[in-house]
Amino acid sequence: MAQPLAERWEVVAPLGDGAMGSVARGRDTVSGRPVAIKRLLDVRHAARFEIEARLLMRLAHPRVVRVLDAFSDGADRYLVMELVEGEDLRTRLVAGGGAGIPAAEAVACIAEVCEALEYVHDAHVIHRDVKPSNVVVGPAGAVLVDFGVARDLADAGLATQAIGTPLYMAPELAAGGAPSPRSDVYGAAATLHALVTGRPPEYGAVREALPDVPGHVTDALHAGLALDPSRRPPSAAAFARLLGAEPAPARGRPLATSIASPRRSPAVLEAVARAAAGIFDAAAASIALERPDGGLRFEAAWGAGADEIVGVELEAGAGIVGSVAVGGRPLAIADCRGDPRFAAAVAAGTGYVPHTLLAVPLRLGGRVIGVLELLDRRDGEPYRDADAPGAEHLAAIAAVALGQVEIETPTVAG
């Protein structure tokens, strides 16, 4: 019997269980399309789940599974993803009896995985569990599935807990180290090793001869599986190039956006918002610039709620951001939902109500020209006053960059 969830989804049949959650085949009761519904087993950190899920829902790339919804039902938390039709690589390997697949086919598949990884890394997202069962191959090629909200929840506050799948997990993660794009490169290389040999690599194993595998592919595998992350290719695109794969044209939805006619360069505005989010591990960042009447207009943003906040205007002094513009001092708000200055109606209108925020003034020539705002730390912790100085340093550089590229309003001759 189908189990209804959140008034839109229903569970149809189980698909599988893992250490961090169970996955079921489901159905969208509105459109009728099939979906995958993941129930998270570790629900100790509700805010972190909500923050990370919002960001994952912004990702849109043909080689990345779409996250459609995230919701709670009692004590359980669920993630709804598109159901990618096809065969995962683990199933393919099992069916082949451990013989592996031809090297050219394996390289082409991993090149598509690298395309997905390059996109998500650009969005400050680390997959952390790249392995054959998380790559589904269908008519349009490889799709990377099962992103790490559950794993993020499980290791919150547990720095020494290894998250991932043994032998496919980068050794620094097994030792409790921080994930990075290079740890996903290791997962891609380990998956390629399994595809061409029928088995995952062993940590620190002596380099082996691989029959019917070109020498440059063996060299790339050796580099990607280096125990020291600094000796691996620095990015998924670099690993793909070592494999001899031509980088695919840039595709996918960018997480940074700006208004149609900004007073500053859109490229600089979006770069500042993206960099701020990455440096401070924020789920969202935005730039509000001063209007001639003293109010503010959000001209660029990155991450969750970006499309909705861009173009929104605030009257002079309105909201926490307006308070920063008028007072000229940074504000770190641990619980912005409980702060009387919080523009709750504006946030609700964007569909993104943050838990915590940090706002710092953008100063140019002694004058406040706007505000840089960071929303929600992705580790679920609140922003504190100690975070403000670093953000002010970034804001100082950003203000200079924005001041140098101001777009002059053309004068109409009359």
Q: Report in angstroms the alpha-carbon separations of 8 from 5, 27, 70.
A: 6, 8, 12
CB 120 within 8 A of CB 165: no
Phi then psi for residue 168, to 5 deg, are: -100, -20
- Choice among 88, 129, 376, 387 that is catalytic: 129
Q: Report in angstroms the alpha-carbon separations of 165 from 132, 235, 344, 400, 412.
A: 11, 21, 42, 45, 64
Other residues' Cβ atoms within 10 Å of the Cβ of residue 150: 24
Q: SS3 for 354?
A: coil
Strands 34-40 and 21-28: antiparallel
DSSP for 282-300 reads EEEEEEEEE-TTS-EEEEE
Which residue carries 């900004």 as its tokens? 262
CA gap 308, 205 in Å, rounded: 50
Is 379 one of the annotated active-site residues of the chain?
no
Task: Name 255's Cβ contacts closer than 8 Å, sequence gap at least 6.
Answer: 55, 58, 59, 123, 274, 302, 303, 306
CB 22 within 8 A of CB 41: yes
Name the residues annotated as catalytic: 129
